[in-house]
Structure 1
Amino acid sequence: MAGAVVAVVKDGKVLFAKGYGFSDVEKRKSVSPAETLFRPGSISKLFTWTSVMQLVEQGKLDLDRDVNDYLDYKIPPAFSKPITLRNVLTHTPGFEETAKELFVADASKMRPLGEYLREHIPGRIFPPGVTPAYSNYATAMAGYIVQRTSGKPFEQYVADNIFIPLGMGHTTFVQPLPPNLSSFMSNGYQQASKEAKPYEFVQAFPAGSVATSAADMCIFMMAHLQDGRWNDKQILKPETAKLMHARAFASDPRLNGMALGFYEETRNGHRIIGHGGDTLYFHSDLHLIHDSNVGFFVSYNSAGKGEVSGRTILFEKFLDRYFPYTPSAPAVASAKENADKVAGLYVASRRGEKSFLKVTEFLGQAKALANSDGTLSIDPLKDTNGELKRYEEISPLLYRQVHGQDLIGFHKNSNGRMEFSIDYPFFVFERASMADNKNFNMAIIVPSLIFIALAVLFWPVGASIRWHYGRKLDLTPSEKRLRLAVRIVCIVDLLFAIGWLIFISGTNDVTNLSRSRDPLLYLLYILGVIAAMGTLIVILHAFRSWAKTGKWIWAKLFDVALALACIGFTWFTWHWNLINFNLRY
């Protein structure tokens, strides 16, 4: 890790603020908590939501009014229920995940906020107010509502109504950084041993573009801990601040829930609210312990090499040191039976559903594992040792980490399907259907690709063998043409699969998820349609092969297997939206 900053406030004072490592490794420039700027990612949302609540208390916005009333474009209707700002602030608008142009390569690619929002409206996949599904788009939309309602550019409104009143002179949403702040900006790194990365440009900027110092974040934390007041400045009325901090939604009442913007992180016997944030290179957390009037902020300018979150471990150690706590350990007699009941694959509610991003749902399913001792593990939730955490049942279908406090709660959702919630209340995990089940899909796509590849491989190999022995295929001209067409279809299938692998591998740099790649994406869709139509040729060939007398039985079986492989391949690509021509993702 290259550099980090940690700050703690209590009772309206900065108790601790210290920088570690370097903001510029090459120049050996140390991190300063007062001056060095970090990018806290989604912690930026707290400024956006504070701005929304300012306008709510002024009567200019209504938390329960249709957001379309505040926009100059329309969110399409769905589920016979409008999306409200309360839904947005609790991450329950029901939007699917989007990624296109969330980050852009440089300042020249940045576009006006309203233009971005109009062109990237996500699909609505859940009824509003029902299922939490974290949404950067929804927060950016809230920022646009602030802009339209206030009559000021969003970044100017936040500066005029939060940063300047609080004296946060080292904080801004402006991209690129203003000249007076650019020299304070820390570099971002993947690892300290690697080169510095360029400044990140966030197109959905109300959701994650802030640059700030630890000292400024201390002021912001103290203002929220003191019901919107810092020194003689009041950025929120006390009743508004209390409303913003109160529990507003929970998918499982036994676990943490959403406040209005903040989310609960209850631990060590204390109700804690906060927010985390990640850009590609910066990783941050903010925590408020209201009953002790304590705030904690940490930000890293690189992720390091660990599989688990170092900043999470740091905060937990802080709590254990200053707020020691020993949870009770009740036992549940039916623990083994219940663990077996909930075991299986689950898909996250934060997902793409109507674009090719749906395939990430297939790649990233969580797996609940019933252990022999009645405990439960969830892959990929790992402990500090890199091993899967183990959870013991402490009440019916409520699990707590063995020797820890992390909670997982299982329950049936409104569709009657098992789902589970974790300590982060802005998404849930629903049991995968048979069609979405990763194991089921692997059983289809892997054999399908193997048979298709073998058909392509055997074509030249078989021709070489026949040439060597002076043999010819006993086929009519029409059979030869059909056989050739089948091989071409198989080649198209493989090109389609390889094309998607190349496209997806390029998304390691999220700035590649942009309109510049739309032609390639559209070409893949067209290739996919050709491949799907070609499956009919393969099926026809299999029927004729099976009906032909005197043909070697193993050749017939291979032709039938190849037809089934092409059917499986086509179903897979259709089901996971790899041929749906949707350029909004």
Structure 2
Amino acid sequence: MQKIVIVFLLIVIALFVPKTLYAKELTTPSGIPLTGIEIFVDDYVSDYIGKETAGAGIIIVKNNEVIFSKGYGYGDVDKKQKINPNTSVFEWGSISKLFVWVSVMQLEEQGKIKLDEDISNYLPKGFLQNLKYEDPITMLNLMNHTAGFEERIFDLGYATDDHMKTLEEGLKMHEPNQIYRPGEVVAYSNYSTSLAAYIVQLITEQEFSDYVEEHIFQKLGISESTFYLGVKEPLTKDKVNGYELLGKGDFKPSTPFYMSMYPSGGINGTAQDLAEFARALMPQVKNSVLFKNENTLSNMLAQSYTVNRNVPGIAHGFWEYHGKSKGFTHGGNTASFSSNFHIVPEESFAVIVLTNQAGEVDLTYGLTKELVGEREINDVKITDLPDSKITEGKYITARQMESGFLNVYYKLMPLVVKSMNETDIEVSLAGQTAIYTQIYPNVYKMNKGHSMFIPTNVLYFSFEDGSVNQIHTSISDYLPMKNNTYWLAFSAILFAYCVLFFIISPFVLIITSVLNKKRKQLILKLRKWIYLLNIVGTAFIVNIMVLIIRMLSNSDRGYAEVLPQIMINYILTVIAVITIGFILFKWNTVELTKLQKCFYVLTIFSISMLIFLLLAWQFYS
């Protein structure tokens, strides 16, 4: 009877006593107990919601179950409309790219795409017009962002849907120049992803948005998310407003965001739907709904690009993350939304953070970092590491516009590396800094600093002829600035001089005209050309300033929107050249005072210098 009672008690304990009393408590990869996860997230979020961020939807998955789901802040600040992670619709931004890569792997599984084959075999003949190198571009190059394309902002996104084109038309209109040899430089590229989606569209003979709806969304049971093309029926009423931060707690509604190349960032959806996507990517899931072959998922999450075994690389479009356990992640940004998607397969763990805040990083990356943890490195001796001084310098992102006037922006925002001691460096960008520590030879890991550096928390410096030739990250590489720092400073000073001169000169001419009404008519004939030349100079300055202000206020424009101002530069240049010719032709026919000669020469010099600077900065293209 005693044995029967003991067995009965053991069965009762096994069935009804909480597992936490006799088994190890479940935690996040960073070690936070799941029983205290809500308290932790609430406390972390409280520093930002309503102060730096309008709202957020956050979901955490563990062992294929949603163990945390909560909305914070407002989807509509004025109406105090609360965010619900199950129903509130956000713009996912570049997280949309992951659905392109899943689509590609589905077709690879079916034998319809070969990842190492030249993509020209899939595209219409002559589709790509701006290739510089004869080396073939493969699908792997597109997935790894190593096809060599420069960045291009124009015609990527629009504030209205008036300029929307089909995916094919958008690709043709938006084609960037190829500035790197394929396979050599990671330069994050929206164009590469949309080009891959177009190849999926050609192979399947199905609109890419329809393909994703049928082969991914429906299989996952996703019903609240969609590629929003703007020209179809409006989205659900649960779409939240996007905001820009004006000051602490002061939020301004931002502009909409429409994309012709929508596969690179056009999905609108809920955090819950992204959680379903995350669950489908866990290796523990049997009979994957996304793939027929059980090896396809593991192949997709296998490393497809790296430059050093000690640094995270790229796994077929997913960014590897150097966390406590190996993670796979991708962020997303639009004009008004910021997001982050992070999975840790070996821990069966996922974090989804969606915000309706432009440029948000403290929740999307900062909170994620706290939950997934950081890998501990204890096996490197200080004596094995080179002095960090060899890394010092200024670097420009490989994701840059090399063509057109916006190339100046990237040169004015370099990544600056300074040595702190033998093993530590300070990295600064856009006014923010982080400290990195050398953990392997020429491999540096972030140990503290601004949240914007978390996606690139590991840097690898490669060298050629004793100097850094590239900084490698899984998102985008950085290249040394080519000794043009002094030229930039000098040209900036010259431009400031030109601005000042052509602001002041009209007033000088007005005053001298009043004082010299009785001058000879011949002098007046020459003076009118000087008047015209100064007016042209002032018009140049006004045109450039208006162009800069327009781009700063809203960079989501079509090139056609700025083309008139580019043409104005051409027209003003022609007028300036003709005017200078007339002045020089009549120079010896008029007696001028030394002061007049000095002013006339200064005017010709100033307008010539301004035209030279505009040519150098590519304000004619």
- TM-score (norm: length of structure 1): 0.83
* Distance verdict in 2 for CA 1:527–1:65, change over 3 Å: same
Note the 1:11-90 alignment, pairs <5 A: 11-72=63-124, 74-76=127-129, 77-90=131-144
Q: For 1:102 and 1:393, how far apart are their aligned partners in 2? A: 37
- The corresponding residue for 2:609 is 568
- 1:558: how far off? 5.8
- 1:50: how far off? 0.8
Instruction: Say yes or no: does 1:445 pair with 2:495.
Output: yes
Instruction: Say yes or no: does 1:100 pair with 2:174.
Output: no
* Distance verdict in 2 for CA 1:538–1:352, change over 3 Å: farther
Note the 1:245-264 alignment, pairs <5 A: 245-250=301-306, 254-264=310-320
Q: Deviations over 1:84-127 (max 9, x none)?
A: 21111111111121222322344454222112222222111112
- The corresponding residue for 1:211 is 268
Larger Rg: 2
Paired residue secondary structure (2:461): strand
Q: Deviations over 1:435-467 (max 9, x none)?
A: 895324323322333344444443223334446
More displaced stretch, 286-295 vs 201-210: 286-295
Match of 2:398 among 338, 349, 352: 349
Q: For 2:513 and 2:92, how far apart are their aligned partners in 1? A: 61
Q: For 2:326 and 2:598, how far apart are their aligned partners in 1? A: 64
Q: For 1:312 and 1:439, how far apart are their aligned partners in 2? A: 34
- The corresponding residue for 1:235 is 291
Q: For 1:549 and 1:252, how far apart are their aligned partners in 2? A: 72
Q: For 1:82 and 1:140, how far apart are their aligned partners in 2? A: 18
Instruction: Say yes or no: does 1:129 pair with 2:183.
Output: yes
- 1:13: how far off? 2.0
- The corresponding residue for 2:23 is none
Contact 2:461 2:472 in 1 (8 A): no
Instruction: Say yes or no: does 1:202 pair with 2:259.
Output: yes
Q: Deviations over 1:319-366 (max 9, x none)?
A: 34xx67476786578747435xx22x3322112222233232244333
Contact 1:486 1:538 in 2 (8 A): no
Contact 1:170 1:181 in 2 (8 A): no
Paired residue secondary structure (1:225): coil
Match of 2:367 among 314, 326, 332: 314
Contact 1:40 1:284 in 2 (8 A): yes
- 1:231: how far off? 6.0
Q: Which amino acid aligns with 1:491?
A: I
- 1:286: how far off? 0.8
Contact 1:434 1:440 in 2 (8 A): no
- The corresponding residue for 1:265 is 321
* Distance verdict in 2 for CA 1:87–1:330, change over 3 Å: same
Q: Deviations over 1:181-239 (max 9, x none)?
A: 60332222224744645653222111111112222211211222227x56662436333
Q: Deviations over 1:153-191 (max 9, x none)?
A: 111101111111111222211434987960332222224
Q: For 2:581 and 2:463, how far apart are their aligned partners in 1? A: 44
Q: For 1:11 and 1:391, how far apart are their aligned partners in 2? A: 33
Contact 2:442 2:460 in 1 (8 A): yes
* Distance verdict in 2 for CA 1:290–1:214, change over 3 Å: same
Q: For 2:61 and 2:579, how far apart are their aligned partners in 1? A: 65
Match of 1:119 among 155, 160, 173: 173
Contact 1:190 1:303 in 2 (8 A): yes
Q: Which amino acid aligns with 2:327?
A: I
- 1:501: how far off? 1.9
Paired residue secondary structure (2:94): helix
- The corresponding residue for 2:201 is 147
Paired residue secondary structure (1:265): strand
- 1:396: how far off? 5.4
- 1:4: how far off? 0.6
- The corresponding residue for 1:6 is 58
Instruction: Say yes or no: does 1:533 pair with 2:574.
Output: no
Tell me, which stretches of 5 or more residues in structure 2 are unaligned? 1-52
- 1:513: how far off? 1.3
* Distance verdict in 2 for CA 1:175–1:31, change over 3 Å: same
Tell me, which stretches of 5 or more residues in structure 1 are unaligned? 581-585
* Distance verdict in 2 for CA 1:481–1:89, change over 3 Å: farther
Contact 1:201 1:209 in 2 (8 A): yes
Paired residue secondary structure (1:94): coil
- The corresponding residue for 1:389 is 434
* Distance verdict in 2 for CA 1:536–1:354, change over 3 Å: farther
* Distance verdict in 2 for CA 1:549–1:530, change over 3 Å: closer
More displaced stretch, 176-185 vs 197-206: 176-185
* Distance verdict in 2 for CA 1:528–1:237, change over 3 Å: farther
- The corresponding residue for 1:498 is 542
Contact 2:92 2:332 in 1 (8 A): yes
* Distance verdict in 2 for CA 1:374–1:128, change over 3 Å: closer
Paired residue secondary structure (1:517): helix
Q: Deviations over 1:525-549 (max 9, x none)?
A: 42353266369649959x969x999
- The corresponding residue for 2:343 is 288
Q: For 1:375 and 1:548, how far apart are their aligned partners in 2? A: 67
Q: Which amino acid aligns with 1:576?
A: W
Q: For 1:457 and 1:442, how far apart are their aligned partners in 2? A: 24
Q: For 1:145 and 1:413, how far apart are their aligned partners in 2? A: 37
Instruction: Say yes or no: does 1:408 pair with 2:453.
Output: no
Q: For 2:224 and 2:583, how far apart are their aligned partners in 1? A: 66
Contact 1:347 1:429 in 2 (8 A): yes
- TM-score (norm: length of structure 2): 0.79
Contact 1:264 1:273 in 2 (8 A): yes
Paired residue secondary structure (1:97): coil
Q: For 1:148 and 1:65, how far apart are their aligned partners in 2? A: 16
* Distance verdict in 2 for CA 1:376–1:536, change over 3 Å: farther
* Distance verdict in 2 for CA 1:359–1:214, change over 3 Å: same
Paired residue secondary structure (2:272): helix
More displaced stretch, 218-227 vs 524-533: 524-533
- The corresponding residue for 2:477 is 427
